[in-house]
Amino acid sequence: MATIATTKGTVIIGSDHGGFDLKIQIVEHLKTIGYQVHDVGCHQPERCDYPDIAALAGKATLDSSNTLQRGIVVCGSGIGISIAANKVPGVRCALLHDHYGAVMCRKHNNANMIALGGRTTGVEIAKEIVDAFLSTEFEGGRHEGRVGKIMSIC
């Protein structure tokens, strides 16, 4: 009898050239721990523009067919791609540097995307951040109103 593989869901991921190497490491990690990955680009380390990748990743993260609705974006510093991702209506992207931030962006802000810096974040720290982001749930309660206020800002 064939075994049917189960998945924890699909994580959207994207990077520019500055985040390409870290993105490849994160993709392998995600697959190892049971996630499917939808990589919106870039698919080679040649120069590309992070706003284009952030828009693709943000829209794919929010797509109603994506039940997990979590995304990861990476550029050289994580700054530019996080700013661009947050321009996509419905995205709450947190630029992260550590485990604590990964937990808190989920618990208190219901972040649906994270940004990392390919030139500033080591692979093992990035894996720890990704794991915390994907395993932490939104607390709701007193935080729901604040997230609602964030989402109402035009």
CB 85 within 8 A of CB 115: yes
Tell me which of 17, 42, 48, 75 is the catalytic residue: 75
Q: Which structure tokens are listed for 90?
A: 């419905």
* Annotation marks residue 108 as catalytic: yes
User: For residue 98, how many other CB atoms are within 10 A of its CB?
Assistant: 13
Tell me which of 97, 99, 108, 143 is the catalytic residue: 108
Burial (CB count within 10 angstroms: exposed 0-12, middle 13-18, buried 19+), residue 78: buried
* Annotation marks residue 75 as catalytic: yes
Those residues whose C-beta lies under 8 Å from the C-beta of residue 149, and which sit 6 or more positions away, are none
User: For residue 77, how many other CB atoms are within 10 A of its CB?
Assistant: 19
For the annotated catalytic residues, the residue numbers are 75, 108
